[in-house]
Amino acid sequence: MKVFSYLQLTLRYTFLVPAVRCVMEPLIHKVCLLTFLVVFDATSSVADLSLIVPPDPVVASAGDDIILPCHLSPQSSAVDMDIRWFKEGDFTNPLYLYKSRTGEDGEGYKGRVSLLTQELERGNMSLLLKNVKVSDMGRYKCQASRLDWIQEPAVVLQVTQQGSVPRISMRKHHRVFIQLSCSSENWYPEPHMLWKDRSGKEITSAETERPKQKEGGVLYSISSHMRIRMDQLDGVTCVVMSKGKGTILESALLQMTGEFKEFYLSSLPDRVYIAAFVIPVFLALVCITASVLFVMHQKRVHVTLDPDTANPRLTVSDKNKSVKFGDLRKESRNEKRFEEKQCVLGMEGYDAGKHYWEVDLGEKTQWSVGVAQDPENRGSNIQMMPENGYWSIRLENGVLKTVQQSSKVLPIELKPVKLGVLVDYVGGEIVFFNVEKKCHIHSFAGTFTKKLYPLFGPLLDCKLELKISQDITLSS
């Protein structure tokens, strides 16, 4: 039918008077040429494009938000392209699908993935993946297509997870020797474990089992056993580290079971009894006394939150005494507001003296609390580290740790229900206390040149309120 129509058109055009043909023919040639050039230009410009991804794996820790990079070269708009991010071998279940200028999260990734839509005009089709899980690791394809052009390079994602602080317990005992066991769980990739004596040297006589995975799981647990003389017990620690020694955790103290205590009380000489029982009790009393003395002598302040500094995802309520993570709100931009980091400052800053306040954390599983030195830049990508004027500790994914370049993992036993924060401006010290246990958690030392403000940050997806304690009281 199309051929017949074309022949009819040709015959009609052939019998047109010469004058009409003379006018139409150049016009038709120009239209055809212009059409050809447009199609050729679009095809050739796409053909010259390449998708660029990093040659090395993208490495992330479980719980992080990361970007899988992918962009066009040379720079060209990707707004009208079809984009599909999928795990290699699972094309029909994409993480994210962008088509006809509309994006859609894949099944199982709702709320966790998105393109940087404002960057599409510049050819950046990188994928933002939130709250990374160990199960997310693998090879991902960044597929882009337009007309007959299609490319899908692969990006490799590696995920690590820091496990639990190693715990030491007793397995068997003898009047001269004792057999210790050390264990740690929830690591990825496989961890390595060793023992150290009081001088920090490795004890090579230990027997470490091969890391094990639970049936159907991906996380590893590891344990090690060692026999040691009683007179060599003091100062022994157990150390577990990730592959490449990127993360190293050390047992804080010897965790004694009931059997271990009974053994010490019944079968060891008096000097060992003193080492195992009296010294820990004495240290506990010192800890309690020191904490109470610190608190009793501080100027107590009533902290209120400054809503003008709150990130748009945070909601400040209860007369500016509590804050929680929620839906994105439309807020007017101002110099005081944190645009990217999920945090809020206290209303009042301190540039002299000692100040103390408490925060009710309850059973919240994720939080970050500390002090900020009057930050000037709050809108860009800030590294909230001590060297940049931020001193804080956080609880995240069951791990209590400091927030700094080389984070220090703190014993989970110190996790507070109520956290005390002490600022000694002149002394250059910021101290955190477990109020319920009356014990010191961690201290930062620094030199302060600006006002210090209380800093609060419910972490991502923490729906429970983080509250400033209304009444500061001391137990006698």
Flag whether 369 is in a domain: yes
Q: In tens digits, what is the pLDDT along the chain, a chain of 476 residues? A: 444 444 444 445 444 445 445 555 665 555 444 544 444 444 445 668 899 999 999 988 888 889 999 999 999 999 999 999 999 999 999 999 999 999 999 998 999 999 988 899 999 999 999 999 999 999 999 999 998 899 999 999 999 888 888 888 877 766 678 888 899 998 998 999 999 888 888 999 999 999 999 877 889 999 999 988 877 877 788 999 887 656 777 764 443 334 444 444 344 443 343 344 444 444 444 444 454 444 544 556 788 888 888 888 787 887 777 787 766 666 666 777 887 777 888 989 999 888 999 988 888 888 889 999 887 766 656 778 888 889 999 888 788 888 887 778 888 888 899 999 999 998 899 999 988 888 888 889 888 989 999 998 765 555 567 778 764 433 33
**Can you give the pLDDT at residue 267?**
41
314/413 same-domain check: yes
**Cis link prior to 416 (omega < 30° from 0)?**
no
**Can you give the pLDDT at residue 284?**
47
Task: Look at residues 241, 259, 277 and tell me which one is the last residue of a structural domain.
Answer: 259
Take residue 9 and report the two structure tokens written for it: 């058109």
338/434 same-domain check: yes
Strand-strand pairing, 149-151 and 138-146:
antiparallel
290: part of which helix (H) or strand (E)? helix 279-296
Q: Report the domain count for the chain.
A: 3
> What is the identity of the amino acid at 117?
T
Q: Please, is 308 exposed, middle or buried when counting C-beta atoms within 10 Å of its C-beta (0-12, 13-18, 19+)? A: middle
> What is the identity of the amino acid at 425?
Y
Phi-psi region of 81 (alpha: psi -120 to 50; beta: other; left: phi over 0): beta
Residue 117: phi and psi, rounded to 5, are -55, -35
Flag whether 475 is in a domain: no
Using DSSP, state whether 263 is helix, strand or coil.
Answer: helix
Q: Are 166 and 193 in contact (CB under 8 A)?
A: yes
**Can you give the pLDDT at residue 23?**
53
How far apart are alpha carbons 475 and 423 in whole angstroms? Answer: 21
78/150 same-domain check: yes
Q: Are 192 and 243 in contact (CB under 8 A)?
A: yes
Q: ∠ CA 213-216-217 to the nearest 5 degrees?
A: 50
313/407 same-domain check: yes
191/117 same-domain check: no
Flag whether 287 is in a domain: no
Query: Which of 92, 94, 189, 105 shows the shortest CA–CA distance to 140?
Result: 94
301/249 same-domain check: no
**Measured in Å, how far apart are the chain's first and last C-alpha atoms?**
100
76/108 same-domain check: yes
142/81 same-domain check: yes
DSSP string, 6-73: HHHHHHHHHTS-HHHHHHHHHHHHHHHHHHHHHHHHHHHHHHT-EEE--SSPEEEETT--EEE--EEE
Kindly report the CATH number assigned to the domain that includes residue 144.
Answer: 2.60.40.10
Take residue 398 and report the two structure tokens written for it: 């069951």
Flag whether 268 is in a domain: no
Flag whether 11 is in a domain: no
167: part of which helix (H) or strand (E)? strand 167-173
**Can you give the pLDDT at residue 470?**
63
Flag whether 175 is in a domain: yes
139/180 same-domain check: no
Task: Look at residues 215, 240, 259 and tell me which one is the last residue of a structural domain.
Answer: 259
79/116 same-domain check: yes
Using DSSP, state whether 411 is helix, strand or coil.
Answer: coil
414/441 same-domain check: yes
Task: Look at residues 108, 143, 160 and tell me which one is the last residue of a structural domain.
Answer: 160
Number of C-alpha atoms within 13 angstroms, CB side, residue 47? 7
**Can you give the pLDDT at residue 25?**
61
Flag whether 284 is in a domain: no
Q: Please, is 377 exposed, middle or buried when counting C-beta atoms within 10 Å of its C-beta (0-12, 13-18, 19+)? A: exposed
Sign of CA dihedral 38, 40, 45, 47: positive
Q: ∠ CA 436-437-442 to the nearest 5 degrees?
A: 105
Flag whether 17 is in a domain: no
173/244 same-domain check: yes
Query: Which of 354, 395, 345 shows the shortest CA–CA distance to 372?
Result: 345
Kindly report the CATH number assigned to the domain that includes residue 316.
Answer: 2.60.120.920
Non-local CB neighbours of 236 within 8 Å, separated by 6+ positions = 168, 180, 195, 196, 197, 198, 203, 228, 254
How far apart are alpha carbons 287 and 369 in whole angstroms? Answer: 22
Residue-number span of the structural domain to which 397 is assigned: 293-468
**Can you give the pLDDT at residue 279?**
45
Q: Are 190 and 220 in contact (CB under 8 A)?
A: yes
